[in-house]
């Protein structure tokens, strides 16, 4: 094996562009592993753990770009490095637009676009707070896609935003739709009168797509970042988002999505909800005994949240498991942590014990055997390679392991479409399953719309052709798996 590193001094590319470039380089002939990262200490540790950090990369500074790859032999490594250089020099070859060469600063961008009122920050975490402050000093709302931003910085930014009446979405805000414009990992959905506020990116994606596929639309979807409902932050962005949608004439109903906040934060948010003249759906996944104000309905799953927003009755309860009668175990392999949590909660509601690396009330730690739900988007699985929404190959090895285990009766998978996601995740999965006789053990949900670049109907058709059972939602996929354990092969399948 040959490890090669190349360092581009004082070079910056957007993190989404870098993830796409990493995927392109990793797919080159002879390449075993590849990664393109800004040379921060945290990123060097990721490359080091992946076994692809060389001496050149070790010497990179925090403002440098490291190209690192491992190949089977010297010829493959040299060829891949040459192609990688071309991709870096022309990032549009990887499907990403080339950054405007003249706009090197936020101030320059504001001068070129004086009507802009929002800055999307996507830089290494320890630079993100400073860039957000620069944007806010110029009067811009900010969406911070970056993660690994210290909690104290997030609190300071949001307090400053509150004082300036500027929204701070994030850090680690992966999804938003503002005035019909999808940002980061969002889907293409029609404009409408339903607003969404979400600490969960995939939660926003699932609810917005279910609403769109029902023929309705989204006014705005405001991401807050996963820590906004922590006591240290105090739901600052969530409360500002409620204020914004409350004042927005195009929004008639508002959906709140998050994992369960602390009790004091629940009371704070619901008190503000109760003062609104608009109707709300509140989905605190895993929260119990939430007392909703008169203008709000509680939803226990993302599917139920979408149904509530549409004015439809909630899905009926799942039947409780009877005794210990089972037909094997379920293995969930998710790219979205919220999907992983939703599936766990449905299993727990059905009386089935489940282990996971995503903590939800009632679940247990990861263990061998039994029902197991894994969030493959967790850092332990993505070190040195892109997130599974960008590179679905992260799931290939655990999928093969699950299908090789005769004790596993059902494998649950989420397929997430949209901007920023892999161009053909269903095609990749179908290729992995090609030639296998046990594909019917795989149950998948496809989050997306036919307006997405991947076109949901095409993705569903590819999975169905491969023998996969395709459910209409992540909750339906979990319900299908639970029904299979009971021996009732109810198929909640989607039709292409």
pLDDT at position 493: 43
Q: Kindly list the domain boundaries of the chain, sorted by start residue.
A: 2-94, 103-172, 176-316, 329-485
Given a cut of 90, whether residue 492 has pLDDT beyond it is no
Query: What does each C-alpha distance from 328 to 1, 325, 486 come to in angstroms?
Result: 40, 9, 10
Residues 6+ apart with CB under 8 A from 11: 63, 64, 65
Residue with tokens 């996507």: 122
φ and ψ of 414, to 5 deg? -105, 135
Give residue 98's pLDDT band: very low, low, confident or very high (50, 70, 90). Answer: very low
User: For 90-99, what is the mean pLDDT?
Assistant: 51
| pLDDT 10s digits, 377-430 | 886 776 556 788 888 988 999 999 999 999 999 999 999 999 989 999 999 999
Predicted local confidence at residue 494, as pLDDT:
43
Higher pLDDT: 139 or 362? It is: 139
Superfamily (CATH) of domain 329-485: Succinyl-CoA synthetase domains (3.40.50.261)
Residue listed under structure tokens 């479409």 = 417
d(CA 441, CA 73): 38
> Maximum CA pair distance of the chain?
68
> Would you say the CATH fold of 103-172 matches that of 2-94?
no
Give the span between the Cα atoms of 232 and 151, in whole angstroms: 8
pLDDT in tens, 220-278: 999 999 899 999 999 999 999 999 999 999 999 999 999 888 889 999 999 999 999 99
Phi, psi of 335 (to 5 degrees): -90, -25
Give alpha helix (H) positions in 434-469. Answer: 456-465
The predicted model scores a pTM of 0.85
Cβ-based neighbour number of residue 70 at 10 Å: 23
pLDDT, mean of residues 40-58 = 88
Spatial contact of 195 and 251, defined as CB atoms under 8 Å apart:
yes
CATH topology for the 103-172 domain: Rossmann fold (3.40.50)
pLDDT at position 46: 81
Q: Map tokens 């830089």 to a residue.
A: 123
pLDDT at 317: 67
Handedness of CA 4, 7, 13, 16 (dihedral sign): positive
Instruction: Please say whether the beta carbons of 140 and 119 come within 8 A.
Output: yes
Lowest-pLDDT choice from 73-82, 92-101, 135-144, 305-314: 92-101
Residues 6+ apart with CB under 8 A from 291: 270
Is domain 176-316 given the CATH code 3.40.47.10 in the classification? no
Domain with residues 2-94, CATH architecture: 2-Layer Sandwich (3.30)
d(CA 253, CA 177): 16
What is the layout of strands, in order, in the sheet containing 296-298? 181-184, 175-178, 218-223, 191-198, 253-258, 279-284, 296-298
């Amino acid at each position: 094996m040959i490890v090669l590193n190349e360092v581009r001094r004082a070079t910056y590319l957007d993190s989404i562009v870098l993830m796409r470039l990493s995927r392109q380089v990793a797919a080159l002939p002879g390449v075993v592993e590849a990664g393109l990262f800004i040379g921060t200490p945290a990123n060097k540790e990721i490359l080091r753990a992946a076994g692809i950090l060389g001496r050149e990369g070790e010497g990179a500074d925090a403002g440098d770009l490291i190209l690192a790859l491992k190949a089977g032999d010297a010829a493959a490594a040299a060829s891949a490095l040459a192609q990688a250089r071309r991709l870096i020099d022309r990032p549009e070859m990887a499907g990403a637009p080339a950054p405007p060469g003249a706009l090197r600063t936020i101030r320059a961008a504001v001068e070129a676009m004086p009507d802009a009122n929002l800055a999307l920050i996507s830089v290494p975490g320890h630079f993100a707070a400073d860039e957000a402050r620069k944007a806010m000093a110029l009067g811009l709302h900010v969406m911070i896609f970056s993660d690994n931003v210290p909690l104290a910085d997030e609190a300071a930014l949001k307090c400053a935003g509150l004082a300036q009446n500027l929204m701070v979405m994030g850090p680690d805000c992966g999804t938003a739709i503002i005035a019909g414009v999808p940002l980061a990992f969002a889907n293409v959905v029609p404009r409408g009168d339903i607003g969404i506020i979400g600490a969960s990116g995939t939660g926003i994606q699932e609810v917005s797509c279910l609403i769109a596929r029902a023929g309705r639309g989204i006014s705005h979807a405001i991401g807050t970042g996963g820590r906004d409902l922590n006591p240290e932050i105090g739901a600052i962005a969530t409360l500002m988002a409620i204020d914004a949608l409350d004042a927005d004439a195009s929004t008639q109903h508002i959906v709140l999505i998050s994992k369960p906040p602390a009790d004091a934060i629940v009371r704070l948010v619901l008190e503000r909800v109760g003062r609104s003249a608009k109707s709300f759906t509140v989905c605190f996944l895993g929260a119990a005994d939430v007392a909703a104000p008169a203008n709000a309905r509680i939803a226990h799953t993302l599917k139920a949240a979408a149904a509530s927003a549409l004015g439809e009755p909630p899905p009926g309860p799942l039947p409780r498991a009877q005794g210990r009668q089972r037909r094997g175990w379920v293995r969930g392999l998710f790219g979205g942590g919220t999907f992983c949590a939703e599936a766990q909660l449905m299993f727990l509601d059905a009386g089935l014990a489940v282990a996971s690396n995503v903590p939800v009330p009632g679940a247990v730690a990861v263990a061998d055997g039994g029902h197991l739900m894994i969030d493959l988007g967790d850092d332990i699985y993505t070190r040195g390679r892109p997130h599974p929404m960008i590179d679905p190959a992260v799931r290939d090895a655990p999928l093969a392991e699950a299908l090789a285990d005769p004790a596993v009766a059902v494998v649950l998978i989420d397929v997430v479409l949209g901007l920023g996601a892999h161009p053909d995740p269903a095609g990749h999965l179908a290729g992995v399953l090609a030639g296998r006789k046990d594909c019917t053990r795989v149950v998948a949900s496809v989050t997306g719309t036919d307006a997405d670049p991947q076109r949901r109907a095409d993705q569903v058709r590819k999975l169905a052709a491969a023998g996969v059972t395709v459910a209409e939602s992540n909750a339906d996929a979990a319900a299908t798996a639970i029904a299979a354990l009971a021996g009732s092969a109810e198929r909640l399948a989607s039709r292409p």
